[in-house]
């Protein structure tokens, strides 16, 4: 009997250590440096003074960069253990950096480990894994992100170099990154899925022009972390091609599948945080008739959140287990499933938590407004929900045959007639007795 919802005692000890470490050592960084860019800016003094010592403690526990398999220089824990870890890290913006699994660096490290040459790994992957530099993934364009067929950023071969020309948008973290992985069309005569390639572009290369420091809601105008950038004749040596020519989408899938799942894992932690806040509020706040916890509407909100959290957590763990068993490509329906569930579960939990906290809930004295926007972001970043629903539907309908005749195979008159014919002798007998 293989169904098992228990965690091995050894790993549970690690999880207990992670929980207490994140709460006591890492979360204070979230509070002290909220709203500053120093999370991504590795030159900021907080990295050497405060983050580096935490990273050393994580390494001493053998918990560094656990998202990578052993063959790629990680710990090879697999996705299920990672899910259990990430739901704790999901409580803190700084925790992934403390554990060496910060997006977009984690996904970029993954594709460098898979597709990089030895020289590329030495120059880009090693310092990235060490947490000494940060990186950017530059794919979305201002005219469209969900459908790559509208991409126009081009790279053309010129002698022993590639020259990149075009614009990108929401290239998160570009301003502090040492290099960007840029997707560009290299062969416009074939569908983009075969005609685009990935390039490693050091950010000090001439021709990279940040047009606007776009940010999300809580970032100050003109000072955001998701810029609109122009690559104006950016010239990189031929050896900066990552993987083969035309392989951009094969590479992108390696990266995005894991990233989507990791966001969902961390969202489990964020939803748990909402539930904890709701429960505390319900037993703390009183009306004339007693604590909020005695009110049926409040109980319903807490119960609904608990049920959704449990369902979502099991879904994420199941998707993680499936990836461990069959790999990310074969588990694409499961990954798309958690990607679709993530924003809905997160948003429902945040809205209920806000509501239960009254004015305080929507104020700038609780983390909830930021969490609400983060929930909406989950439905857009790494592809909008609708696109992932299409992926699920295609997978679910794979191999399904049309009904043979006019009626669906569940049509009751035909099924009942067949069943009655099968049991005619008993039916006749019953009729005979009556
Ligand atoms: C916080 C954040 C960080 C990001 N970081 C990065 C990054 O580091 N690098 C990067 O390259 N990109 C990044 N992105 C961009 C992200 O991948 C895109 O926003 C996403 O792919 C959607 O593209 P779009 O914004 O152009 O929306 P559009 O493509 O314009 O889509 C807008 C809406 O149209 C509808 N729609 C579009 N296509 C379909 C369809 N096929 N079926 C049904 N409905 C559809 C959906 O409702 C969708 O939400 C980030 C985005 C956010 C919000």
pLDDT of 70 reads: 80
Instruction: Note the pLDDT tens digit of each residue in 159-195.
Output: 999 999 999 999 999 999 999 999 999 999 999 999 9
pLDDT of 430 reads: 58
Which helix or strand (DSSP H or E) is residue 14 part of? helix 9-21
pLDDT of 431 reads: 54
Residue 2 sits at φ, ψ, to 5 deg, of -100, -15
Q: pTM higher than 0.85 for the full model? A: yes
What residue has token string 């940010």?
A: 215
Q: Which residue from 22, 53, 24, 17 is spatially nearest to 270, judged by alpha carbons?
A: 22
The alpha carbon of 382 and the centre of ligand 1 are apart by a number of angstroms equal to 7
CB of residue 386 inside a 6 A radius of ligand 1: yes
Residue 97 token pair: 């950096």
Average pLDDT score over residue span 152-157:
98
Question: DSSP secondary structure string, 135-165?
Answer: EEEE--BTTBSS-GGG---EEEEETTEEEEE
Share of the chain above pLDDT 90, in %: 84
Q: Which atom of ligand 1 lies closest to the CA of 143?
A: 26
Packing angle, helices 385-397 and 332-356, rounded to 10: 140
Average pLDDT score over residue span 370-381:
97
- Answer yes or no: is pLDDT of 434 > 70: no
CB of residue 380 inside a 6 A radius of ligand 1: yes
- Banded pLDDT at 218 (limits 50, 70, 90): confident
The alpha carbon of 242 and the centre of ligand 1 are apart by a number of angstroms equal to 24
Spatial distance between the Cα atoms of 388 and 318, rounded to a whole number of angstroms: 18
pLDDT of 253 reads: 84
Q: Which of 134, 137, 170, 394 to mutate to test the pocket of ligand 1 (most atoms within 8 A of CB)?
A: 170
Please give the mean pLDDT across all residues of the chain: 94
pLDDT of 269 reads: 96
**HSE-CB of 256 using CA atoms within 13 angstroms:** 20
Average pLDDT score over residue span 336-349:
98
- Answer yes or no: is pLDDT of 424 > 90: yes
**HSE-CB of 394 using CA atoms within 13 angstroms:** 8
Q: Is 373 exposed, middle or buried (0-12, 13-18, 19+ CB in 10 A)?
A: middle
Q: Which residue from 104, 112, 85 is spatially nearest to 171, judged by alpha carbons?
A: 104
pLDDT of 315 reads: 98
Spatial distance between the Cα atoms of 383 and 393, rounded to a whole number of angstroms: 16
- Answer yes or no: is pLDDT of 351 > 60: yes
Average pLDDT score over residue span 371-383:
96
Average pLDDT score over residue span 252-279:
92
Q: What separation, in Å, do the N-terminal and C-terminal C-alpha atoms of the chain show?
A: 48
Q: Which of 380, 387, 393 to mutate to test the pocket of ligand 1 (most atoms within 8 A of CB)?
A: 380
pLDDT of 54 reads: 97
pLDDT of 74 reads: 74
Question: DSSP secondary structure string, 253-287?
Answer: HHHHHHHHHHHHHHHHHHHHHHHHHHHHHHHH-EE
Average pLDDT score over residue span 53-70:
91
CB of residue 377 inside a 6 A radius of ligand 1: yes
Average pLDDT score over residue span 46-72:
89
CB of residue 217 inside a 6 A radius of ligand 1: no
Share of the chain above pLDDT 70, in %: 98
Instruction: Note the pLDDT tens digit of each residue in 113-139.
Output: 889 999 999 999 999 988 889 999 999
DSSP state of 25: I
Q: Mean pLDDT: which of 73-87, 97-111, 257-271, 281-295 is highest?
A: 281-295
CB of residue 244 inside a 6 A radius of ligand 1: no
Residue 344 token pair: 């809905």
pLDDT of 79 reads: 92
């Amino acid at each position: 009997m293989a169904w098992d919802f228990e965690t091995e005692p050894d790993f549970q000890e690690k999880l207990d250590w992670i929980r207490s470490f994140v709460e006591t050592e890492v979360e204070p960084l979230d509070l002290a440096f909220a709203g500053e860019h120093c999370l991504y800016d590795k030159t900021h003094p907080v990295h050497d003074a405060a983050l580096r010592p935490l990273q050393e403690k994580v390494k001493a526990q053998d918990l560094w960069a656990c998202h990578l398999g052993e063959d790629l220089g990680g710990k090879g824990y697999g996705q299920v253990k990672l899910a259990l870890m990430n739901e704790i890290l999901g409580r803190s913006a700084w925790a992934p950096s403390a554990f060496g699994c910060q997006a977009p660096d984690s996904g970029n490290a993954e594709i460098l480990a898979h597709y990089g040459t030895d020289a590329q790994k030495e120059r880009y992957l090693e310092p990235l894994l060490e947490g000494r530099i940060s990186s950017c993934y530059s794919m979305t364009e201002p005219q469209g992100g969900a459908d790559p067929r509208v991409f126009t950023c081009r790279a053309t071969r010129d002698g022993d170099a590639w020259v990149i020309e075009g614009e990108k948008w929401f290239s998160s973290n570009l301003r502090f990154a040492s290099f960007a992985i840029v997707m560009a069309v290299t062969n416009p005569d074939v569908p983009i899925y075969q005609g685009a390639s990935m390039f490693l572009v050091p950010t000090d290369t001439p021709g990279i022009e940040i047009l606007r420091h776009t940010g999300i809601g809580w970032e100050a105008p003109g000072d955001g972390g998701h810029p609109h950038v122009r690559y104006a004749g950016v010239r990189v040596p031929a050896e900066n091609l990552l993987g083969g020519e035309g392989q951009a989408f094969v590479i992108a899938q390696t990266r995005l599948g894991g990233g989507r799942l990791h966001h969902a894992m961390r969202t489990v932690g964020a939803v748990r945080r909402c539930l904890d806040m709701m429960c505390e509020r319900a037993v703390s706040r009183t009306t004339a008739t007693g604590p909020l916890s005695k009110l049926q509407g409040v109980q319903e909100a807490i119960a609904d959140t608990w049920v959704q959290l449990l369902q979502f957590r099991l879904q994420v763990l199941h998707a993680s287990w499936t990836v461990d068993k069959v790999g990310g490509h074969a588990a694409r329906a499961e990954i798309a499933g958690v990607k679709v569930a993530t924003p809905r579960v997160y948003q429902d939990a945040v809205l209920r938590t806000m509501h239960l906290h009254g004015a305080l809930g929507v104020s700038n004295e609780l983390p909830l407004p930021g969490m609400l926007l983060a929930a909406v972001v989950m439905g857009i970043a790494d592809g909008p929900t609708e696109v992932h629903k299409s992926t699920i539907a295609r997978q679910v309908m794979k191999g399904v045959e049309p009904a043979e005749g006019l009626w669906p195979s569940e049509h009751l008159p035909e099924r009942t007639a067949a069943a009655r014919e099968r049991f005619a002798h008993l039916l006749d007998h019953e009729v005979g007795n009556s």
